[in-house]
Amino acid sequence: MALLVQKFGGTSVASVSHIQKVAERIIAAKAEGHDVVVVVSAMGEQTDTLDALAREVDFYEREARREIDVLLSTGEQVTIALLSMVLMKLGCAAKSYTGGQIRILTDDAHTRARILEVETQNLRADIEANIVPVVAGFQGVNERGEITTIGRGGSDTTAVALAAVLKADECQIFTDVEGVFTTDPRIVEGARCLERITFEEMLELASLGSRVLHSRAVEFASKYQVPIRVLSSFGQSAGTLITNEDPKMEQPVISGIAFTRDEAKLTVLGVKDIPGIASRILGPVSDANIEVDMIVQNVAADKSTDFTFTVRRDDYQEAMDILKKVAKDIDAREVSGDNKIAKLSLVGVGMRSHAGVATRMFRILAKESINIQMISTSEIKISVVIDEKYLELAARTLHTAFELSVENGNLA
Ligand code: ADP
Ligand code: ASP
Ligand code: MG
């Protein structure tokens, strides 16, 4: 008998008949003797619908973020109630909980809060009483009891956080694909479902844009050693297990390709090449809570530099407004930007012991006449920024060239 946390994503609970199927899965796990704690997302595209309403209001000041959280969190509240009712109808005791009712405590950063603590009292009492707790994903409360949300896709993180505090045997993320693939199977036809992948690789893939798991969920799982399994809500296959690296197993050079369109690039041109400039440019940006991703600075012959960095596309306008002020203060020539870029990354722990992957990647992209605008590397990943319109072509070409559809095909 195991303790399982089972999380069901939006597509899996898109209608009452979908919810009925989910309830049957939960009941089947109970029938096998397991204790189950459930986390759910909003139904279908409900969070997008709510987000679109907020955008219609067209008010983006900082104080709007508190209200956006109140709005977006309603989606999950609908699902917890419906699933609990369906479970009860099918004879399985169940009880719904919002983030506040459990007391999933987060910090104050509305729309992108971090989970700090999870109380387990209600959950343990329910498990003891053979009741299935059905918890709203994606939401929590801050110290003052105000509703917060933890970033789009965050229900995965809620599930792993619950699994961590309850010391569950496995956190099962049920979704609309069979598991974690070598790349997004909706974009690249030959993508292959992986049997297992390391926390380290999954963390890179998730934070570089593979939507299949929220990156903070993988971070938590690795920190608290919670095995995650990603599997289909509709199929019966074993899915993908995410665990520690097995030193006995040979690792493929590349495990997967991640990409994201959620990027924008800003450049301050003609900046004086003197100490302290980077912090004077990026300080005000980070003070506004805008995360900076890649940074490139190069010195021209006349001792001035161009300073380029990327931010989330949603933050582009705010970052641009800040930079225009900064540029005046530091006497820079001008600010330019491009929000039609994409970032594509190759990820694999096998890269540690294989040189030349980057050169090979650049050669393949050059053959397709795809220009690389920025590059960043770490021990197990290579990322490039390219024009958004070439993203799919780049992903397909690299997937084929690195033979990712063939198991261990890229070892050579
Ligand atoms: P859920 O609503 O269940 O949380 P998501 O839409 O957040 O589901 O995540 C599942 C989607 O992630 C898939 O439909 C797929 O298009 C996308 N995806 C991106 N990269 C990958 C990958 N490497 N493996 C599997 N799915 C991926
Ligand atoms: N419903 C939220 C979203 O669509 C959270 C989640 O599904 O994980 O982003
Ligand atoms: Mg998701």
DSSP characters over 73-106: THHHHHHHHHHHHHHHHTT--EEEE-HHHHTEEE
CATH code: domain of residue 357: 3.30.2130.10
Q: Is 133 or 236 the better-scoring residue by pLDDT?
A: 133
Q: Are residues 169 and 261 in the same domain?
A: no
Please name the amino acid found at residue 118. V
Sign of the four-CA dihedral 84, 89, 90, 94: positive
Please name the amino acid found at residue 9. G
- Tokens 């006449």 sit on residue: 369
Segment 87-102 shows an average pLDDT of 98
Mean pLDDT, the chain, rounded, equals: 94
Alpha carbon dihedral 309, 310, 316, 318, in 10-degree steps, equals -50
Residue 331 backbone zone (phi > 0: left; psi -120 to 50: alpha; other: beta): left
CA atoms within 13 A on the CB side of 91: 5
For ligand 1, the distance from its centroid to the CA atom of residue 202, given in whole angstroms, is 13
- Nearest atom within ligand 1 for CA of residue 257: 23
Which of 135, 155, 176 is the last residue in one of the domains?
A: 176
What pLDDT, in 10s, does the model give residues 356-381? 999 999 999 999 999 999 999 999 99
Strands (E), 327-392: 334-347, 374-378, 381-387
- Among 52, 64, 131, which Cα is nearest to 91's? 131
19 pLDDT above the threshold of 60: yes
Q: Are residues 312 and 166 in the same domain?
A: no
Q: Which residues pair with 258 in a beta bridge?
A: 345
228 pLDDT above the threshold of 80: yes
Residue 186 in any domain: the answer is no
- Number of structural domains in the chain: 2
Q: Which domain holds residue 392?
A: 257-411
What pLDDT, in 10s, does the model give residues 241-286? 999 987 777 778 899 999 999 899 999 999 988 889 899 999 999 9
Which of 176, 209, 234 is the last residue in one of the domains?
A: 176
Nearest ligand to the CA atom of 214: 3
What pLDDT, in 10s, does the model give residues 118-139? 999 999 999 999 999 999 999 9
* Residue 320 near residue 266, CB atoms below 8 Å: yes
Quick one: pLDDT band at residue 409, thresholds 50, 70, 90?
Answer: low
Find the angle CA(365)-CA(367)-CA(368) to the nearest 5 degrees: 65
**What residues contact 222, with CB distance under 8 A and at least 6 apart?**
199, 200, 203
Residue 321 in any domain: the answer is yes
Q: Residues lining ligand 2, judged by CB closer than 6 Å?
A: 9-10, 41-42, 47, 75, 137-138, 152-155
Segment 147-170 shows an average pLDDT of 98
Rounded Cα–Cα distance for residues 380 and 151 (Å): 26
Segment 36-49 shows an average pLDDT of 98
Segment 179-185 shows an average pLDDT of 97
- pLDDT given at position 75: 98
412 pLDDT above the threshold of 50: no
Residue 399 in any domain: the answer is yes
Highest mean pLDDT among 91-95, 232-236, 289-293: 91-95
Hey, whose CA ends up nearest to atom 21 of ligand 1?
184
Quick one: pLDDT band at residue 222, thresholds 50, 70, 90?
Answer: very high
Hey, whose CA ends up nearest to atom 6 of ligand 2?
153
